[in-house]
Amino acid sequence: MTHLALTDISKQYAGTAVVQDFNLDVKKSEFVSFLGPSGCGKTTTLRMIAGFEIPTTGRVTLDDADITNKAPNQRNVGMVFQAYALFPNMTVAQNIGFGMQIHKESKSAIKQRVEEMLALIHLEAKGNSYPNQLSGGQQQRVALARALANRPQVLLLDEPLSALDAKIRVQLRAEIRAIQKKLGITAIYVTHDQEEALSISDRIVVMSGGKIEQVGTPFQIYNFPETSFVANFVGTLNTVRAEVLDPAKQLLRVDGVELEAAEGLADKKRGDQITIAIRPERIQFASLEKKANVFECTIENITFLGSIVRVQVLTGSNKLFLDTFNNPFLELPKIGAKEKITCSKEAVLVLQ
């Protein structure tokens, strides 16, 4: 059942469309991420849910109630900001209890809830500290607790981890996800970090130019990108121009070599020029007996990425990346060496 619905949403500033034709249904307790580059409209969409922006057209409904034109303080929506936005003049406990105080809850109820929230974010000892006495990660946890203390129907998170260093970011995103699951709250998370979106979300909405490119689970978005934008934006991807040889047999030609795809050519004609995509981790060095989908290549560069080694190869006119797991007991090919690479037909993605 739909909990939050955005229907035909668009937003224009001085005639320029920032968000267009945005339709999304979010289920209760679902964690949905808006993923896209800067200026793609993801934050504007989030702000329309929060009530800080009013859509030019369309409707926002929460539990079937139309909240499109409701003031932000009339919606039961919690928000976590990139810049923490803790009130500097209040202690951690006062920050967390602020929303409940506004809603005129009793002192004992506020005290109890603040203690619950402090325990939830593991900052029990920091209730009397001021925000500037906390680290960035601690401040963002307090901001999360403050947004949750009011028991909002939806939790909105606007790039909450962007201001933190890499290690804290990874740790805190796991905490956010754990808290969201524990409380069963519906969450909308805005990020431009694909790894963050893939690791934390139930579903991802990939956006570009104010429009939705694709909505799907992290698995679908990563493994089956529907557009070249999604394919290029999410993860590292090799995109290659190919000629359709036989649509019925799913056969293509790349750099004069036949390549078999698993699907996606049914609506194509022989001779069509199309774009295909192959993930680096789905390309391997070919064994001698392997004959199909094999390309000869020259090793151009090798980049060590810790657990993964990324090899750049040249096959005819195309430069491709190939990822292999780092194995200290296996010798890597030399730069300039001639090798053969291959991929399964399932690894070949035909882009729309």
The residues binding another protein (CB under 8 A) are 50-52, 71-73, 77-79, 81, 83, 85-89, 98-99, 102-103, 130, 132-133, 143, 146-147, 150, 156
Calpha distance 80→140 (Å, rounded): 8
Please state, as a whole number, how many other Cβ atoms lie within 10 Å of the Cβ of residue 260: 18
The answer to whether residues 316 and 300 touch, using CB atoms and an 8 Å cutoff, is no
User: Toward another protein, which CB reaches closer, 86 or 283?
Assistant: 86
Please, which residue, 155 or 206, has the CB nearer to another protein?
155
Put residue 269 in one of left, alpha, beta given phi > 0 → left and psi -120 to 50 → alpha: beta
Check if the beta carbon of residue 285 is closer than 8 Å to that of residue 331: no
Crossing angle for the helix pair 92-102 and 107-120, to the nearest 10 degrees: 130
Comparing CB distances to another protein, the nearer of 155 and 197 is 155
In the bound state with another protein, the residue whose beta carbon lies nearer, of 83 and 292, is 83
Task: Report, in Å, the least distance between residue 145 CB and another protein.
Answer: 12
Q: CB 60 → another protein: shortest distance, Å?
A: 15
> To the nearest whole angstrom, how small is the minimum distance from the Cβ of residue 321 to another protein?
40
Smallest distance, another protein to C-beta of residue 24, A = 20
Q: How far is the CB of 125 from another protein (least distance, A)?
A: 16
Q: How far is CA 335 from the centre of its chain?
A: 35
- Least distance in angstroms from the C-beta of 118 to another protein: 17
In the bound state with another protein, the residue whose beta carbon lies nearer, of 103 and 122, is: 103
C-alpha to C-alpha distance for 50 and 76, rounded to whole angstroms: 9
Smallest distance, another protein to C-beta of residue 47, A: 9
CA distance 21 to 151: 30
Least distance from C-beta 317 to another protein, angstroms? 49
The three-class DSSP label of residue 328 is: coil
Which residue, 141 or 279, has its beta carbon nearer to another protein? 141
Do the strands 338-343 and 294-304 form a parallel or antiparallel pair, or are they unpaired?
antiparallel
Please check whether residue 197 is in contact with residue 24, taking contact to mean a CB–CB distance below 8 angstroms: no
Please, which residue, 51 or 280, has the CB nearer to another protein? 51
Q: Between residues 55 and 264, which has the closer beta carbon with respect to another protein?
A: 55
Angle between helices 92-102 and 136-149 (to 10 degrees): 20
Q: Report H helices in the chain.
A: 42-50, 92-102, 107-120, 136-149, 166-183, 194-200, 218-223, 228-233
Q: What gap in Å lies between CA 276 and CA 343, rounded to an integer?
A: 13
The amino acid sitting at 27 is: K
